[in-house]
């Protein structure tokens, strides 16, 4: 039987509908389609890395997003958002000083207690780097607990790379290997790092997959082939963690929008092991 990851159920939250207002105190335009909102909630929000919150724009709507900041930061929260539709387009028009609402946190988180003493692989691309940045910053905050962190990050092209401001700093952290790849380098864009889909970076991996965790997040096609390649490499199904960003509405098991076979992505996930969901239908859609 697959082991279920710990989650925050609606029963654990006093009132899952309660909205905590937050001020946008800064905005970083990461790429043409992705920006990071730096938020100051009116009261501290305690979450575990990997969980998500529902972010609302008054009069517009709300959507699920994973904080991209460390879970050790409770008085501020970063949320990295890609423009895809109505709500996210409106979020991309927001300005410093505007206010949004936050509900949650909801769902499962990365089981950091089982990562202790391990060599951790983080693999992601596009806006899937948002929860992975949160995981990475949480891990480096207590780096002595872990043996090493290898972070492979992908993007379509150099201009689509996010967190550019932080990369040089991340590469300097002790016990950290941070490597980037882009799918292609269009004419006129400069790039001196790896080229190819992010999984090509597995050629550089130097850890024993049998006893170490791997965490993956990205667009569905990247998740599918990333999971396949990591399993072929030798990672165990119960140590391969996937953040499943399914369509959601309520965020806590009431509306059934997020059903994946016998699971609800919102309350049983969003973080699942591959072992848990491998037999469910349409997991990569």
For position 279 contacting ligand FES by CB under 6 A, the verdict is: no
Single out the residue of 64, 105, 154, 253 in contact with ligand FAD (rule: CB under 6 A). 64
Which lies closer to ligand FAD via its Cβ, residue 207 or residue 250?
250
Which residues fall within 8 angstroms of residue 55, CB to CB, at 6 or more apart? 62, 63, 64, 65, 79, 81, 91, 100, 101, 102
Chosen residue from 16, 218, 251, 270 binding ligand FES by CB under 6 A:
251
For ligand FAD, the closer of residues 20 and 200 by Cβ is: 20
Q: Does residue 246 belong to the site contacting ligand FAD (CB under 6 A)?
A: yes
207 binds, among ligand FES, ligand FAD, none (CB under 5 to 8 A by kind): none
> Quick check: 253 binds ligand FES (CB under 6 A)?
yes
86 binds ligand FAD (CB under 6 A): yes
Does residue 87 belong to the site contacting ligand FAD (CB under 6 A)?
yes
* Interaction residues for ligand FES, span 24-53 (CB under 6 A): none
If the CB atoms of residues 12 and 208 are measured against ligand FAD, the closer one turns out to be 12
Select 182 or 244, whichever has its Cβ closest to ligand FES. Answer: 244
- 140: how many CB neighbours lie within 10 A of its CB? 17
**Which residue number, 144 or 285, has a Cβ lying nearer to ligand FAD?**
285
**Is 273 in contact with 242 (CB distance < 8 Å)?**
yes
Q: Can residue 247 be called a binding residue for ligand FAD (CB under 6 A)?
A: yes
65 near ligand FAD, judged by CB under 6 A: yes
Instruction: Pick the binder of ligand FAD from 245, 272, 274, 277 (CB under 6 A).
Output: 245
Select from 16-24, 148-156, 172-180, 240-248 the region that touches ligand FAD (CB under 6 A): 240-248
54 lines the binding site for ligand FAD (CB under 6 A): no
Contact positions vs ligand FAD (CB under 6 A): 52, 63-66, 80-82, 84-88, 127, 130, 245-248, 270
């Amino acid at each position: 039987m697959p082991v279920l990851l710990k989650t925050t159920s609606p029963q654990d939250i006093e009132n899952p509908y309660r909205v905590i207002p937050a001020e946008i105190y800064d905005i970083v335009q990461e790429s043409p389609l992705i920006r990071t909102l730096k938020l100051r909630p009116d009261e501290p929000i305690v979450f575990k890395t990997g969980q998500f919150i529902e972010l609302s724009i008054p009069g517009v709507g709300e959507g699920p997003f994973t904080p991209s900041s460390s879970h050790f930061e409770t008085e501020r929260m970063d949320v990295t958002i890609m423009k895809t539709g109505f709500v996210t387009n409106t979020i991309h028009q927001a300005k410093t000083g505007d206010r949004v609402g936050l509900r949650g946190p909801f769902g499962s988180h990365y089981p950091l207690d089982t990562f202790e003493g391990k060599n951790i692989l983080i693999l992601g691309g596009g806006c899937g780097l948002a929860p992975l940045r949160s995981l990475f910053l949480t891990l480096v905050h207590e780096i002595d607990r872990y043996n090493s962190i290898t972070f492979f990050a992908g993007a379509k092209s150099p201009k689509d790379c996010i967190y550019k401001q932080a990369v040089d700093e991340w590469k300097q952290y002790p016990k950290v290997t941070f490597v980037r790849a882009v799918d292609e380098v269009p004419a006129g864009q400069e790039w001196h790092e790896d080229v190819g889909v992010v999984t090509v970076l597995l050629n550089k991996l130097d850890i024993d997959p049998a006893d170490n965790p791997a965490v993956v997040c990205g667009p569905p096609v990247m998740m599918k082939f990333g999971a396949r390649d990591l399993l072929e490499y030798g990672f165990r199904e119960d140590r391969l963690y996937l953040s499943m960003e399914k369509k959601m509405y309520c965020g806590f098991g009431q509306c059934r929008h997020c059903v994946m076979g016998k699971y609800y992505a919102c309350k049983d996930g969003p973080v699942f092991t591959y072992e848990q969901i491998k037999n469910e239908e349409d997991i990569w859609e």
